[in-house]
Structure 1
Amino acid sequence: MQYMDTIWSDPLIKNSKNGMEIKYTDYFDTENAKKGYNYFSFIAGACRLLVPEIPTYPEFLSKMKKAKSVEVSYNAKLYDFGRKKIAGYTATFDDGTATPFSLLTPIKHSDGKPLKKDHDQKMMLIVYFEKEGKHVEVYRRKAVFKYNR
């Protein structure tokens, strides 16, 4: 997967009354979503991961649901497939195997980041998939947040 080097504009996200759930978003109408890029949104003690419609949905969801634990980490120096160091997030769905399922997302594909004080804190991870242009919650679980520099 390649990361875009274009200027990023945050999508519109309207939250539910408790702030965690997404009531409305136009993210799936953006060019980045159409190209298959994920988006992280942090608010009200929750990390929301928006995943645009792609052919590997069933595989993603199956791997997520097999996880025994989930970790969301901020990394100051992820590698953009050998090109350059970038800041970003990794959501790791640890199923106890040697190769847990992970999603990497550059920081520019997010609306901010949790603070250092959030290190080792639990937060709710809510994953939304796109289905017919709408967002559908497919996964919800407590995750541990790690702040790595």
Structure 2
Amino acid sequence: MISVVNEGQAIKHTDYWQSEQARVGYLFLSWNAGAARLLVPDASEALLKEVRGSQYVIISKGEPEGRAALELLFEDGSDTPFVVHILLEQSDRLQTEAEQGGDFVVRVWTRGGSQLQYPGKYRVVGTLPDFSPWQAH
């Protein structure tokens, strides 16, 4: 279990960086105070270059192959936006279906702190992947 000590939208402390999950390269999504914080392990910091320039992030909850997961689509207006999939175990909580919409931010964190911030949008879909644009929901 990953421990996160919050200070509003900021992360005051977490043991994620020393965890086995971070060591093997798993991302972790932590929610607090209107922010989804994507924790990126040292080995995956190249992800920052891929998502830089995104306009917003669509987080979709769905079930690829019958297992609940989240898709984070970094919408940049191109035909091939950067997308990452994580299992629900890689998140400390789940938005409810009633929380669909876009009143939160997505902050990308590394060991060095918050690196990037984007408007966030959340939706529940049937299956993943779901690369449909936000307007389709």
Q: TM-score range by the shorter chain?
A: 0.7 to 0.9
Structure 2 Cα separation of the partners of residues 98 and 121 of structure 1: 22
Structure 1 Cα separation of the partners of residues 122 and 33 of structure 2: 14
**1:94: how far off?**
1.3
* Structure 1 portions without partners, runs of 5+: 1-9, 80-84
5 Å-filtered alignment, 1:1-149, equals 10-16=1-7, 19-54=8-43, 57-58=45-46, 60-75=47-62, 77-79=63-65, 85-130=66-111, 135-149=112-126
On the 8 A contact 1:89/1:106 being kept in 2, the answer is yes
Give the share of equivalent positions with the same residue, in percent.
Answer: 26
**1:31: how far off?**
0.7
Structure 2 Cα separation of the partners of residues 42 and 27 of structure 1: 14
Computed over aligned residues only, the root mean square deviation of the Cα atoms, in angstroms, reads: 1.5
- The SS at the match of 1:121 is strand
The count of corresponding residues between Structure 1 and Structure 2 is 126
- The SS at the match of 2:80 is coil
TM-score computed with the length of structure 2 as normaliser: 0.84
* Structure 2 portions without partners, runs of 5+: 127-137
Structure 1 Cα separation of the partners of residues 18 and 56 of structure 2: 31
Partner of 2:133: none
Runs (4+) off by over 4 Å: none
* Equivalent AA in structure 1 for residue 45 of structure 2: Y
Structure 1 Cα separation of the partners of residues 67 and 29 of structure 2: 16
